[in-house]
Amino acid sequence: MSSETKQILTTDGIPLEVSLKKAERKNKIKAFLLVAPLLLFLIITYVFPIGDMLFRSVDDKMVTQMLPKTFKAMETWDGQELPDEEVFAAFHEDFIKLVEDKREGKLSTQLNYTKNGFKSIIKKLRRKSKSFEEGNYKEQIMSVHKRWANVEYWRAIKRRAPEFTSQKYLKGMDMYVNEEGKIVSVEEDRRIHRVLWLRTLEIAFFVTVFCFLMAYPIAHLLATLPMKYSNLLMICVLLPFWTSLLVRTASWMILLQQQGIVNDFFVGIGLVADDNRPEMMYNKTGSYVAMTQILLPFMVLPLYSVMKTISPSLMRAGKSLGGTPFVAFWKVYFPLTIPGIGAGCLLVFILAIGYYITPALVGGASGTLISNQIAFHMKSTLDWSFASAMGLMLLSGVLVIYWLYNKLVGIDNIKLG
């Protein structure tokens, strides 16, 4: 029997398999076309700009473009001893051009990032370079300041030759490339970023733990109470969830201030003396308390939706088989709620790690997180490439958790309200 007789044909004489595939492909294209507008919109306005951040964070073309001839001349320089006349002449040529464009200030700022001490010697060079004679630039530049005769400063310039740099990422971890080209940490008392990263992790971790400890009992209560009571109590969870973040932060500012209600209460029950009211705001305590309350609904809702599906007869069965209520809970109920715990904890942790508004308002100096540092560099120092680098470091952490979440819970299983 030939294979042709086996094939099933449609009425048009086309093999059924081919016809089905065609229809299938049509459906695929149709489905994809529906998603396409949003996907395209997000790719253009969101995904690409995040890629742009990546580019900005490693982009170091500025110095490369300011000193093109110098870097060309430096290619053959081994960096052991002072470069020869050719490099000095090229540097002089580039420098004169920068002075004409009034950009030598930018150069000094940039070079100063690599090595301290460039600012003053570039200023000096600008003044003196006006009276330079042609030829023998090495002598003339070296006579401007003794640092120009120091090979380390020339090495520092050479380090800025590549168009791309990992410097901003190193800075985000309080590290830098030293004179020998090795990656080293900055002095202990200047490691501000490591402190911030650790604090961000610490606060996110403990906020997650607090949320879990508080959410578990109330989610259980909501899931086991009869509908008419649980609906009423659910409002206590949902109302804060729907209320503006700023409103909730404002209420904590009122509660936690020194003359605030919480302090009044502590004084009233004699816990603290009236003239010795503790600072509960503008420090870590403020961040902890406010963030826990604000993120609590995000823990309660996933826990609740999992607990709702657990049949109460399971606990009864556990007890009837001889377990005490505690054993029944620990061996039967608790393991069944683990998916909800995973979902809630990951969600709260992801949200907490990127928190900005609440720590900025109630956190003070000791309660701010990495997000606040990113905003500070975006707005105040205008070091956008550093802000981008820190943002992407934070993002990579979040994406790992997001991936984990997807593996454990599934993105399609995110439930709202």
Partner 1 sequence: MALPKYTEPHYRIWHYIYLTICGAVFFFLIAPLFVIFPLSFNAEEFLSFSDGMKRLDPDAFSLRWYKDMIYGTKNPWGLAAKNSFIIAIFATIGSVILGTVAALGLSSRHMPYKGLIMAVLISPMIVPLIISGVAIFFFMAKAGLAATHTGIVLAHIILGTPFVVITVTATLSGFDHSVTRAAASLGSDPVNTFMKITLPLILPGVISGGLFAFVTSFDEVVVVLFLAGLENTTIPIQMWTGLREQLSPTILAVATCLIILSTLILVTAELLRRRSERLRGINR
Q: Which of residues 225-244 bind partner 1 (CB under 8 A)?
A: 225, 227, 233, 235-240, 242-244
Residue 327 binds to partner 1 (criterion: CB under 8 A): no
| Positions in 352-371 near partner 1 (CB under 8 A) | 353-357, 360-361, 371
Nearer to partner 1, 140 or 257 (CB): 257
Q: How far is the CB of 159 from partner 1 (least distance, A)?
A: 27
- List 20, 31, 184, 195, residue binding partner 1 (CB under 8 A): 31
Q: How far is the CB of 226 from partner 1 (least distance, A)?
A: 8
- Where does this chain touch partner 1 (CB under 8 A) — which range of 105-113, 120-128, 144-152, 210-218? 210-218
Q: From its phi and psi, is residue 201 left (phi > 0), alpha (psi between -120 and 50) or beta?
A: alpha
φ, ψ for residue 295 (rounded to 5)? -90, -10
Residue 309 binds to partner 1 (criterion: CB under 8 A): no
Residue 32 binds to partner 1 (criterion: CB under 8 A): yes
- List 192, 198, 254, 314, residue binding partner 1 (CB under 8 A): 254
Nearer to partner 1, 118 or 349 (CB): 349
- List 19, 56, 112, 132, residue binding partner 1 (CB under 8 A): 56
Nearer to partner 1, 151 or 414 (CB): 414
Residue 412 binds to partner 1 (criterion: CB under 8 A): yes
- List 52, 85, 152, 274, residue binding partner 1 (CB under 8 A): 52
Please classify residue 403 by burial: count the beta carbons closer than 10 Å to its beta carbon, then call 0-12 exposed, 13-18 middle and 19+ buried: exposed
Q: How far is CA 342 from the centre of its chain?
A: 21
